Amino acid sequence: MLTVIQIPVLNDNYIYLAKDVESGLTAVVDPAVAGPVLDTLAEQGWRLDFILNTHHHGDHVGGNLELKKQTGCRIVGAKADKHRIPGIDIELSDGGHFHLGSTVFQIIETPGHTLGHIVYYSTEDGILFCGDTLFAMGCGRLFEGTAEQMWHSLQKIRALPSTTRVYCAHEYTLNNGRFALTVEPDNAALQQRMADVRRMRESDQPTVPFSIDDEVATNPFFRADVEALKTAIAMETLPPLAVFTELRSRKDVF
């Protein structure tokens, strides 16, 4: 069983501390900076054992080396990105597993945002740390990969149990939802979710984590093969990849 602490940093990043209750082992996911992590560890009286990186971008690995220096932790990341993950000690690939004490994370490669992006999924806890592949009502920009790769990656995530709690790395929900409404303005589930999101953000509450089920109902990038969405943007006869590609292009200039 995991205990997860959410640490907001920079303008809109989230860092996560995840502690395996049974063993007491603790990991930090995508530490953009070291200071707030060290402060939270001290407040909780926890020791840091591992860093789990989803990808190589600076706002996800910026705290790696300082945390390793201060705590002696080991750094975990994608084998495909070993040359870009600072201080990496443990290299993981698709279909592999990482054990944080009694918690087992399944490793799923999700190229698109970057070519070496991975996500960490705990079946027992129903938790997904997904970095910048999936956001609430959005997905990562295609900095390195293709639309086809990202669409395939999102389908992998969409196939996880609907109750899975998703911990992404940014608070982008309000803007993502505004875009989603330009795509499906008549989507009742989306309208309700946006009303909830506005209330949460007005009171400075995080909109993360969220569920896979939330995304199936409201995330246009999950819904590129759904007839209602295809009809809404007059792409009924086109394949899902073409729809996804169009959506990503629109979001890039939104």
Annotated binding site, which residues? Answer: 55, 57, 59-60, 113, 132, 170
Structure tokens at 78: 């994608």
Catalytic residue (one of 49, 55, 81, 214): 55
- The answer to whether 229 and 246 are in contact (CB under 8 A) is no
Residues within the annotated binding site for Zn(2+)? 55, 57, 59-60, 113, 132, 170
56 assigned to active site: no
Catalytic residue (one of 57, 81, 125, 214): 57
Cβ-based neighbours of 244, under 8 Å, separated by 6 or more: 147, 150, 151, 154, 221, 224
The Cα–Cα gap between 181 and 229 comes to 11
117 assigned to active site: no
Three state DSSP letters for 201-243: HHCCCCCCCEEHHHHHHHCCCCCCCCHHHHHHCCCCCCCHHHH
39 assigned to active site: no
60 assigned to active site: yes
59 assigned to active site: yes
Catalytic residue (one of 81, 125, 132, 214): 132
Listed residue (22, 78, 25) closest to 47, CA to CA: 25
Catalytic residue (one of 60, 81, 117, 214): 60
Rg for the chain (alpha carbons), in Å?
A: 18
Catalytic residue (one of 20, 30, 49, 59): 59
- The answer to whether 144 and 106 are in contact (CB under 8 A) is no
Catalytic residues: 55, 57, 59-60, 113, 132, 170
